[in-house]
Amino acid sequence: MAKYKIIGAVNFFLGIFEIVYPLIVILFTIPRLTELYAEFQAKGPNLIPTYIILSIVMLMGVGNFILGVKLFSKSENKEKFFKIAIILIIASFLLGGVITKIASLSVIMPIYNLTSEF
């Protein structure tokens, strides 16, 4: 019983992080950087891949959150959810780290081009 709650807690908190982090980037970081590029009259990055990557991270976060809640609830199929939850935790740590870095770099890399223009 305790193993379900431990994995459920990891899924729950990982899901919250994977939902909140992309929202912060989308709502605060990207608009500020877009203003910066406009202020210097520089060509900004193509944000479509960044939004796609952050959406994937958010979907993994929603999956983690739902599995965390399911493992805390009194359902009968906890073993099925347990296996899926472990797979999603591993995928979140491996892919989430790489995908998040790629999204951050795709937004920030044009700043280096901006400094080379002046």
pLDDT tens across the length of the chain (118 residues):
788 889 999 999 999 999 999 999 999 988 998 898 888 887 777 888 889 988 999 999 999 999 999 888 887 778 888 999 999 999 988 887 888 788 778 777 777 766 666 6
Number of domains the chain is built from: 1
Closest alpha carbon to 100 in 54, 63, 61, 67: 54
**How many CA atoms are closer than 13 Å to the CA of 31, on its beta-carbon side?**
5
Q: What is the pLDDT of residue 118?
A: 60
Give me the amino acid identity at 111. Answer: I
Q: Residue 52: give the domain boundaries.
A: 2-117
Give the pLDDT of residue 28: 93
Q: For the chain, what is the radius of gyration of the CA atoms?
A: 18
Contacts of 113 (CB under 8 A, 6+ apart): 42, 43
Least Cα distance to 103 among 45, 61, 63 occurs for: 45
Backbone angles phi, psi at 63, to 5 degrees: -60, -45
In 10 A of CB 40, how many CB atoms? 14
Give pLDDT, residue 96.
Answer: 78
